[in-house]
Structure 1
Amino acid sequence: MTAGYPFSAVVGHDDLRLALLLNAVHPAIGGVLVRGEKGTAKSTVVRGLAALLPAVAVVEGCRFSCDPAAPDPACPDGPHDGAAATRPARLVELPVGATEDRLVGSLDLERALTAGVRAYQPGLLSAAHRGVLYVDEVNLLHDHLVDLLLDAAAMGRAHVERDGVSVSHAASFLLVGTMNPEEGELRPQLLDRFGLTVEVAAARDVDARTEVIRRRLAFEADPAGFAARWAPEDTALAQRIVTARAALPSVRLPDKELRRIAALCASFDVDGMRADLVVARAAVAHAAWRGAAEVEARDVEAAARLALPHRRRRDPFDEPGIDEEQLQQALRDAEPDPPDPDGGPGSGNSSGNSDVDGPAENGEPAANGSPPGGGGDQAQPAAIPDPAFRARLLSVDGIGEGAPGRRSRARSGFGRTLRATEGHGHGLHLVGTLAAAAPHQLARGRTGAGIVLRRGDLRRAVREGKESNLVLFAVDASGSMAARKRMSAVTGAVISLLLDAYQRRDKVGLVTFRGDGAELVLPPTSSVEAAVTRLRRLSTGGRTPLADGLLRAHRTLATERLRDSRRRPLLVVVTDGRATVPLRADPVADALRAAGLLAADGVASVVVDCERGPVRLGIPARLAAALSGAHVRLDELSADHVTGVVRAARSAA
């Protein structure tokens, strides 16, 4: 087997390495979410950790990795009386395209069809028990699967109720998820379920980048030799994990540090009590990792840096990370009151230091430094909606086959089963298959317990779930004050849709046209942070190249159709129709011809009429007719009205 990249050989990423090691010491912390741009060694570090974990003693032959010293009394393979065996801790990877039965397990079809008995086939949760469950691109995993694995991680057990099977088994594992925020965010409810979070980025220091290249090339040239050179450091870390695990139950958490944790979490105004518990567990693990007998202020600070950044986000507009000044002030405010002169020496040390567990001789990762928080331009984006300015649910009539999401009805590989079919479906429909085969058993000469099947008996499941959609705004940004007011309203509507879309896995894009041409200022995206950044930069003024704006929208949708033909689009055109920039000769005729291209592609559309004044040319209405879409006036351009129009247009489509 090819040697993996050693954990100790990773350059930098001190916070990430510390977060993983703390979870290895105390899995009840709740796992690690690793956020960062592509190509930052996220997967490499996670895979390197698995090699450090202690070997696992298991009951020989148990599919659920029961501990011989304390077997699970409810284990589906129990009761156990077999011999014990030892195996390495597993790293189980959950692919983005995994199905629910692959994750939690399902009916054992082979035994059901051949022996006629109901038996359970374990899934990935059972394989990950007492090991590491690694989910790359967790933000792209379907929400109901994320819910399932987070429930199992929190309870330490997996409960399966499906296909006539009712099973509960132990599922205690170190959960690690990685994600690229540019590809979309996790819902706040799911973010909170991860114990710790770390932001990673490629080093900007030339020396550090040089060392990364040097080590990687050396590993690729001789994986075994490279791993052997780093084996002493990895061995030392592995032994520290064992030592810290053994010491963990005896580490004392003084009341003053408990109060510090409570005050710290309260100062960051986090929801619920999960943050307090995670910080407490992580602080205890950090103290055990240091070899200390009790938790100190520096342990609480290190834990807070890792446990609070993702919990202080109230909505997708909040910057990730934790503000260093706020953290230090909160730690100072949480210091116990000094005792009176007769009360003896003060207790505890100030936690304002930042050199928590600096790099040590044996490869110990540091916890100093935190993800940047709240940085960048502090100017508010235009027309940030108030709490009442929310988007209603958008949905497309009919049943599509789009990308997984939480909006419109769709036939897909997930969701509830509607019926069995001989044609296209997703997965085997067991009951339908057995029902199709049952009438023919006598003619097929069945004599035993098994059932005799033929290819023609097989039935597939028709399932109905939810899909995501693409909403593309094409906005007239010409003119001066009137256009700026128009842009403010549209920006508010787009932001409202983004708030909703980020939870429902939609994509939202924005084309603006002004001056001499059109610009795709917001490529179709599910990343709310990226969207808001682009929306802040919108500008207005100049003439109205309406035809060019429609053509740019047409090209954008055509490109998205090539990327994913299943995602159904909606085009929202916001304009006064006073086209002043021709493509050929007549700017209005050019715009109507461009609209015809969109209509020919079957794009559902709505035109928001911004025309004002005593003399109105009625071009927006003609444009809506050319698009075969709906037509509404500008005074209806609020979040409620826009989403209502969108829904009507989709129904018409």
Structure 2
Amino acid sequence: MPSRPSHYPFSAIVGCDAEPLDDLGLALVLASVSPEIGGVLVRGEKGTAKSTAVRALASLLPPVRVHRGDRFSTDPDDPAQESPDGPFGTGVPVEARPVRLVELPVGATEDRVLGSLHLEQALTHGKVSYEPGLLARAHRGLLYVDEVNLLHDHLVDLLLDAAATGRATVERDGFSVEHAARFLLIGTMNPEEGELRPQLLDRFGLTVEVAAPADPAARVEVVRRRMAYDADPAAFAERYRAAEEALAARIARARAGLGRVLLSEAALLKIAQVCAAYEVDGLRADIVTARTAVAHAAWAGRTSVTSADIRRAALLALPHRRRRNPFDAPGIDEEILDRILGGEDPPPDPPPPGPDGGPADDGGDGGSGPADPADTGPEPGESPGTAEDGPAPGTPDGPGPAEPEASHGADPDPATPAEPDARAPAPAPGAAPVGAAAPYRTRKLTVRGTGEGADGRRSRATGTRGRRVGAAPPGPGTGSSLHLVETVRAAALRPRDGGRLRLHPRDLRVAVREGQETNLVLFCVDASGSMAARKRMTEVKTAILSLLLDAYRRRDKVGLVTFRGRAAELVLPPTRSVDIAAARLDGLPAGGRTPLAEGLLEAARVLRRERLRDPRTRPLLVVVTDGRATGGPGAVGRAFGAADHVAGLGVTTVVVDGESGPLRLGLAADLARRLGADHLPVSEVSAEGLGAAVKERAA
């Protein structure tokens, strides 16, 4: 196999250079052996060879046969696949070419992914011609998306459709094209930059978590190899040529032996028990685990699936499917897996029935001997003891070790008391953070007006996606989809030298579309003593957590500013990473004075900074307070001055009034008038009320 010095060799990656392969190498290899598994998602911190491993994988795959000149790479041996460039007669030669690795940029347009009208043919010759996109190029190859969690929603929808149907359909600009689009989808992401949409997450067959090695010797080896590759890529690739050829040959053998691997009924039952024990949604997990187990058996050179194959398959196929929401940590409890599999291989399927309807004679004792050893052990999850004997001692259901006698005189461990002391003093106000309740589904929040932010699923905006509402010359805020009718109309309205219509670059018009954008929801939360009541803070935290979950689904940013004591703090910088956000919110304390002015000014600084970073992102500011500004003389005046400053930013704001009791000063209402914000009374400050309040359409 010819060397490819432009790519780092797969077998030179630490972890992929020895048997057994690490999780990253094994997941990529198994998905290559059986593409029906559904692709691989690689999660990990930056600098962990995620992209290097993916780019090196393509050189290990066997070449594909295509018709010469076929831009859609249809299989000549599959009559069901029809190419838009066809039909191809017997005179068109068939050739073998390497598997393509197609990279999908996160900023790609829909036209680039699906294909579009060939502008040169349309404008020069007046001919409607289709230019294939990235999905056509990736057919029978690898489609790689780096930072897949940052992919725009409209591109995610396209990938979901193609992954589900294996085809791409284009209906636009006067032409209709449908072609096959079956590819091995590989995505890499850094969880710190945000999570992946659940629909796309479930489409990845396998997922792996990667991290930099902790062993200093392994880190030294990584650096040594990388420096050697950078110094002389060709010589480095030649050093690993034999290992690359052996690995490619093993992948080819595993592919060829895939159909000979036996997946017994007992193995299928074990897989079903594992998936049911982890309470995964749907049946895709069962199918993917079964396919992965078969691929692992073929990779190991076996002809039947064993418990080891099922275990490895479950560890790769289930962690990302058991997450009920993005706040759940990925991973699975391996003790459950060990208890179900029991370390024993599934028994083979029973022999076919004999002539009399009973089992065929296999030379045994006719069934008079002892039962199958697999049937004498406990059922999965059952204790070793029998039902009559009761649970075995020391098991979770059985009696534990005897309690120590009181006469021993040993004092109980103060760190682990059996019962909490009801007479113990309560913690000081603000000392212990108040937790949030379970998040709930929220209504949609929109910001007034029409923006030009990034494609999302929240507020109205003009951009590259949505319904077509007009046409304009190409420029910022417009899409790349040609509006052919308006282009011809602009050329017709321009004075002409002769009777023939000629198109000039200034006549070009592109479609203006109205869709939806993402937004920044910034909370400015009063965490002072007047707001420190446990129930109130629980409701506030629950509402923020729920909005964070909603923002995750809609691809929004969420930030959190709190003020208490003498200062304000940006507890959560604007982010899409729900894992980090949930952790910061859970540890939020309450108590002390109310520096309202400092909180508003800190929120204003965050909004100005985010506006500089991305002027198109429109924010919504939610201030949760009772309006009582304390902290010295002039605190109220400073708070109103800060409110005037925030109002000058032109940000849509909602003030949630946390004042309670029979005597109400109405300070939050005055603050809302200063801010030009909506004011919501305390009766709506509840888990449901606050969630509804901050998601009302801003007037």
Q: Settle same-fold status: TM greater than 0.5.
A: yes
In the alignment, what sits opposite 1:354?
none
In the alignment, what sits opposite 2:487?
433
Offset at 1:275?
0.9
Q: 1:413 & 1:556 partners in 2: Cα distance?
A: 28
Alignment of structure 1 residues 22-61 onto 2, 5 Å: 22-61=30-69
Conserved? CA contact 1:390–1:640, under 8 Å: no
Select between 424-433 and 593-602 the one with higher mean Cα deviation: 424-433
SS of the aligned residue for 2:464 comes to strand
Q: 2:180 & 2:214 partners in 1: Cα distance?
A: 44
Alignment of structure 1 residues 345-424 onto 2, 5 Å: 346=373, 382-385=435-438, 389-422=440-473, 424=475
Match among 283, 286, 300 for residue 310 of structure 2: 300
Match among 71, 79, 84 for residue 87 of structure 2: 79
Alignment of structure 1 residues 103-142 onto 2, 5 Å: 103-142=113-152
Alignment of structure 1 residues 87-486 onto 2, 5 Å: 87-332=97-342, 342=369, 346=373, 382-385=435-438, 389-422=440-473, 424=475, 425-427=478-480, 428-437=482-491, 444-446=498-500, 452-479=502-529, 482-486=532-536
SS of the aligned residue for 2:99 comes to coil
Q: CA 1:442 to 1:523, structure 2 compared with 1: closer, same or farther past 3 Å?
A: closer
Q: 2:133 & 2:80 partners in 1: Cα distance?
A: 17
SS of the aligned residue for 1:651 comes to coil
Q: 1:50 & 1:146 partners in 2: Cα distance?
A: 23
In the alignment, what sits opposite 1:365?
none
SS of the aligned residue for 1:617 comes to coil
Select between 471-480 and 284-293 the one with higher mean Cα deviation: 471-480
Conserved? CA contact 1:133–1:174, under 8 Å: yes
Conserved? CA contact 1:630–1:645, under 8 Å: no
In the alignment, what sits opposite 1:360?
none
Select between 456-465 and 573-582 the one with higher mean Cα deviation: 573-582
In the alignment, what sits opposite 1:538?
588
Q: CA 1:249 to 1:154, structure 2 compared with 1: closer, same or farther past 3 Å?
A: farther
In the alignment, what sits opposite 1:66?
74
Offset at 1:343?
6.7
Q: CA 1:439 to 1:522, structure 2 compared with 1: closer, same or farther past 3 Å?
A: closer
In the alignment, what sits opposite 2:414?
none
Per-residue CA deviation, residues 349-376 of structure 1 (Å, 9 max, x unaligned), is 99xxxxxxxxxxxxxxxxxxxxxxxxxx
Larger radius of gyration: 2
Q: 2:441 & 2:165 partners in 1: Cα distance?
A: 35
Q: 1:441 & 1:543 partners in 2: Cα distance?
A: 72
Match among 652, 665, 669 for residue 617 of structure 1: 665
In the alignment, what sits opposite 2:611?
561
Conserved? CA contact 1:259–1:334, under 8 Å: no
SS of the aligned residue for 2:65 comes to strand
Q: 2:372 & 2:600 partners in 1: Cα distance?
A: 75
Conserved? CA contact 1:419–1:462, under 8 Å: yes
Conserved? CA contact 1:416–1:463, under 8 Å: yes
Conserved? CA contact 2:71–2:136, under 8 Å: yes
The number of residues matched between the two structures is 615
Q: CA 1:515 to 1:73, structure 2 compared with 1: closer, same or farther past 3 Å?
A: closer
Q: 1:335 & 1:283 partners in 2: Cα distance?
A: 13
Conserved? CA contact 2:307–2:343, under 8 Å: no
In the alignment, what sits opposite 1:357?
none
Match among 537, 558, 574 for residue 508 of structure 1: 558
Q: 1:453 & 1:347 partners in 2: Cα distance?
A: 79
| Structure 1 letter corresponding to 2:82 | A
Quote the RMSD (CA, aligned, Å). 2.6
SS of the aligned residue for 1:192 comes to helix
Offset at 1:644?
3.8
In the alignment, what sits opposite 1:629?
677
Q: 1:341 & 1:66 partners in 2: Cα distance?
A: 58
| Structure 1 letter corresponding to 2:486 | G
Q: 2:70 & 2:102 partners in 1: Cα distance?
A: 17
In the alignment, what sits opposite 2:651?
603
Conserved? CA contact 1:96–1:137, under 8 Å: yes
In the alignment, what sits opposite 1:586?
634
Select between 425-434 and 460-469 the one with higher mean Cα deviation: 425-434
Q: CA 1:639 to 1:163, structure 2 compared with 1: closer, same or farther past 3 Å?
A: farther
Conserved? CA contact 2:170–2:177, under 8 Å: yes
Q: 2:149 & 2:376 partners in 1: Cα distance?
A: 40
Conserved? CA contact 2:536–2:686, under 8 Å: no
Q: CA 1:514 to 1:439, structure 2 compared with 1: closer, same or farther past 3 Å?
A: closer
Q: 1:120 & 1:203 partners in 2: Cα distance?
A: 48
Per-residue CA deviation, residues 216-239 of structure 1 (Å, 9 max, x unaligned), is 222212222222212221111111
SS of the aligned residue for 2:332 comes to coil
Select between 316-325 and 8-17 the one with higher mean Cα deviation: 8-17
Offset at 1:314?
1.1
| Structure 1 letter corresponding to 2:553 | Q
Please report the TM-score for the alignment, with normalisation by the length of structure 2.
Answer: 0.83
Offset at 1:647?
4.6
Conserved? CA contact 1:26–1:285, under 8 Å: yes
Q: 1:236 & 1:38 partners in 2: Cα distance?
A: 30
Offset at 1:480?
6.9
In the alignment, what sits opposite 1:372?
none
Select between 156-165 and 17-26 the one with higher mean Cα deviation: 156-165
Conserved? CA contact 2:34–2:295, under 8 Å: yes
Offset at 1:144?
2.7
Q: 1:643 & 1:481 partners in 2: Cα distance?
A: 18
Conserved? CA contact 1:108–1:118, under 8 Å: yes
Match among 578, 597, 609 for residue 547 of structure 1: 597
Select between 93-102 and 250-259 the one with higher mean Cα deviation: 250-259
Which ranges of structure 1 fall in alignment gaps of 5 or more residues?
A: 351-378
